[in-house]
Amino acid sequence: MTATITRQMALYDHNQNSLAKKKTIFNTFEILYFIICIFLLGTGLVFLEQISSNFFNESEITFDNKVNIFLLILLALFFQLPSSLYIGALMGLDKQLSANLLISFAALARGTLAMLFLYFEPSLENFFYSQIIVNVIYLISLRITVFRNLKSSKLEKRFDIQVVKDNLSFTSNMALLSVLGVILINIDKLLVANLLSLKEVGIYTLAFNLSTLPIMLCQIVSVSTYPTIIKEVQNFQEFAFKEFYLSINSLMASLLIPLSLTLIFFNNHISFAWIGDIELSKTVFIYSIILIAAQTIQGSTMLAYYYALSREITRPQILIAIFSVIMLLPVMYFAIKSYGLYGASLTLFACILISYPFGVIYLNKNKENVSLYSYSVSPYFKTLLILLPIYYLMSLISVEPFNSRILNVFIIILTVSVGVFVAIFKNYKHLENYISALRKSISTIVLRN
């Protein structure tokens, strides 16, 4: 529904009739979204004890505490899920700046409040209390922001069944794709939780969380450019679209590659700055490196994924996801049983690597027979070739990672900044429009002040 509402919002102009139509579309999807969220919460509550008793393979947590923890997890998810709908609406309304500011605020608030709660009493319950509070505030803030940009009109309807009918096919395919995506994202963690010790679950979770930084960046860039991709596809002109598609992939490469290389070459600096434990940072190192490489490969295909969605193409993604699930489940189970965390991380990496060429090829296919495959590969590969030796040399002269957490933060910021600067310089001719727009925005802010 999130992808659907972004697409529908982006297709309409800003006249009065279109604003009324946008409001009707949003109202309809909002009602459906909350019905589904309430259903999921109810289902979770019904099976709460069964889920709680079977989740961890080895745990010293009592059964009552497990039930309480999973209740808090359900509530945290209930208040977090609808936020995606509001972000999708803001993106479709060309309010990318507002959406990204709210996303950044929520991410910062989650981390800050979690640390504050855990400082007074380190427990899983306290962690999820902090997440619930942030999610509720985030949800309210998003809803207010969306409604400020969706003016009321006498022409609007509170619920329109025709909106559901018109979007049923695309939304249903997206629902299937979402279910497959949830399985792919979580199957490794679920198998690790059921087959290995709680300590290993914690190590893998830390490594996985580090590896999500590149995919989070890719998600922000892709969702922000998705409405523009939709409009470019609607008014398709081969030369103009090629230039646009190359430019957004160059932008993604200029941000993704420096971040990923920093995470790889300065992994101990980042993990120690975050965790503050030397031994744990060393233990997490190898698994996080493998997972970061995997997520970087997957992130580089995200613009191709949104390009396919802009044309309501979902079949290739579904086929790739089904193939990945069928391949991943038995292999992951055997690998974890035999090789532990190495098996989990390497299997995920291999799965993403194998599906990568299929994703690049099939997601870029189009009815105009315009070749776009190279634009999903060359910007990332060329940027990587330029930055790889630079990061290798920087890693040789870096400061000992386990001396100071604060110093590590400055090192990380510096290395990312150096990489982004070099990448932008290398890709400048494809990024001129974005840089000019940024300069214009900064000038406007300065003049207002």
Mean pLDDT for 266-284 is 86
Q: Which of 201, 57, 198, 78 is nearest to 131 (CA)?
A: 78
Residue that the structure tokens 């840089």 belong to = 435
Residue-wise pLDDT for 199-237, tens only, equals 888 888 888 888 888 988 888 888 778 878 888 888 888
**Residue 328 and residue 273 in contact, taking contact as beta carbons nearer than 8 Å:** no
Domain that holds residue 21: 1-159
Number of domains in the chain: 1
**Residue 383 and residue 253 in contact, taking contact as beta carbons nearer than 8 Å:** yes
End-to-end CA distance of the chain: 39
Q: What is the pTM of this model?
A: 0.76
Q: 431-449: buried (b, 16+ CB within 10 Å) or exposed (e) per residue?
A: beeeeeeeeeeeeeeeeee
Distance CA 401, CA 270 (A): 8
DSSP state of 398: P
Residue-wise pLDDT for 326-374, tens only, equals 877 888 888 888 888 898 899 889 888 888 888 788 888 877 788 888 8
Cβ atoms < 10 Å from Cβ of 261: 25
Q: Residue 218: which H helix or E strand, with range? A: helix 198-234
Query: Is the torsion defined by CA of 121, 123, 129, 132 positive or negative?
Result: positive
Q: Which residues contact 363 (CB under 8 A, 6 or more apart)?
A: 301, 304, 305, 307, 308, 313, 316, 317, 376
Q: Which two tokens stand for residue 11?
A: 């297709």
Distance CA 253, CA 431 (A): 11
Mean pLDDT for 49-73 is 66
Q: Is 331 contained in some domain?
A: no
Q: Is 254 contained in some domain?
A: no
Q: Is 73 contained in some domain?
A: yes
Residue-wise pLDDT for 381-400, tens only, equals 999 999 999 999 998 887 78
| 289 confidence band (pLDDT: 50, 70, 90) | very high
Q: Is 205 contained in some domain?
A: no
Q: What is the CA radius of gyration of the chain?
A: 23
Q: Is 93 contained in some domain?
A: yes
Q: Is 67 contained in some domain?
A: yes
Q: Is 140 contained in some domain?
A: yes
113: pLDDT strictly greater than 60: yes
Residue that the structure tokens 């890709």 belong to = 427
Residue-wise pLDDT for 296-337, tens only, equals 998 999 898 888 888 877 777 788 788 777 877 888 888 888
Q: Is 69 contained in some domain?
A: yes
The whole-chain average pLDDT of the chain stands at 81
